């Protein structure tokens, strides 16, 4: 039998799923712009602002459902998880905007081959994590969510390996060095938020509180 709260939960779920797709699009657009040397800043900015707006709407909807329907524990678990996930999706957008802003320094075209290759590989890994976080949310697939932990460790390793190599090989100061250090840091943070989403999905689906980092 359908409950009064169920319609509201369906509306909230739709908002969160929409945020997931927008977040993936925003990160993809930003990273591709940086790698290919195209200016995606304005479009990324618009999408990032849209993510923040939907996150606020989702939070308001969650509080409305709590105030109106006095949800049971399982419903509260969903609401808590969704509020955390919408925040992480909004952070995807924020870091994507940062990357697009950094791209104004010149992108990767002026960088050495090994730098371009490192950024491409790390970007592909992180964008895959973003997609996995969205897919695992839609399916409540805890195995997908847990798999984010191993990929996040790989991203961390790539991040520190890149910094170490940059210290050894790069000139003291140039545009490429400055922009690439900032971008790999943003990529590392996006990967962290992907694991936070994985933790929320596992909690949402099972009630189990885990740490994937």
CA 99 distance to own-chain centroid: 13
- Enumerate residues 6+ apart whose C-beta is below 8 A from 182: 98, 102
CATH fold of 4-206: Methane Monooxygenase Hydroxylase; Chain G, domain 1 (1.20.58)
pLDDT category, 171, cuts 50, 70, 90?
low
Residue 108: what pLDDT?
81
Query: For the whole model, what pTM was predicted?
Result: 0.94
> Are 9 and 16 within 8 A, CB to CB?
no
Q: What are the extents of the domains in the chain?
A: 4-206
- CA distance readout (Å), 28 to 24, 92, 197: 6, 10, 18
pLDDT category, 190, cuts 50, 70, 90?
very high
Return the higher-pLDDT residue of 150 and 107: 150
Sign of CA dihedral 35, 170, 173, 185: positive
Q: How many CB atoms lie within 10 A of CB 16?
A: 23
Residue 173: what pLDDT?
58
Q: How many CB atoms lie within 10 A of CB 6?
A: 12
> Are 12 and 62 within 8 A, CB to CB?
yes
Burial (Cβ within 10 Å: 0-12, 13-18, ≥19) of residue 211: exposed
Residue 1: what pLDDT?
64
pLDDT category, 199, cuts 50, 70, 90?
very high
Residue environment code for 31-56, b if the CB has 16+ CB neighbours within 10 A, otherwise e: bebbbeeeebbeebbebbebbbebbe
């Amino acid at each position: 039998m359908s409950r009064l709260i169920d319609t509201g939960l369906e509306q909230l779920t739709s908002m969160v799923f929409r945020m997931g797709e927008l977040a993936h699009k925003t990160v993809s657009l930003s990273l591709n712009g940086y790698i290919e040397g195209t200016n995606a800043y304005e479009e990324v900015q618009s999408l990032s602002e849209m993510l923040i707006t939907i996150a606020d709407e989702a939070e308001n909807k969650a509080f409305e459902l709590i105030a109106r329907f006095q949800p049971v524990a399982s419903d509260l678990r969903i609401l808590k998880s969704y509020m955390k996930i919408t925040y992480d999706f909004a952070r995807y957008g924020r870091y994507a905007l940062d990357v697009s802003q950094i791209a104004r320094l010149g992108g990767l075209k002026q960088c050495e081959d090994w730098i371009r290759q490192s950024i491409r590989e790390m970007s592909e890994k992180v964008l895959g994590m973003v997609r996995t976080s969205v897919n695992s949310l839609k399916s409540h697939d805890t195995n997908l969510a847990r798999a984010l932990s191993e990929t996040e460790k790989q991203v961390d390793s790539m991040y520190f390996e890149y910094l170490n190599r940059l210290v050894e090989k790069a000139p003291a100061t140039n545009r490429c060095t400055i922009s690439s250090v900032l971008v790999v840091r943003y990529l590392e943070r996006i990967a962290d938020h992907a694991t936070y989403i994985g933790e929320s999905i596992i909690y949402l689906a099972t009630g189990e509180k885990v740490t994937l980092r």
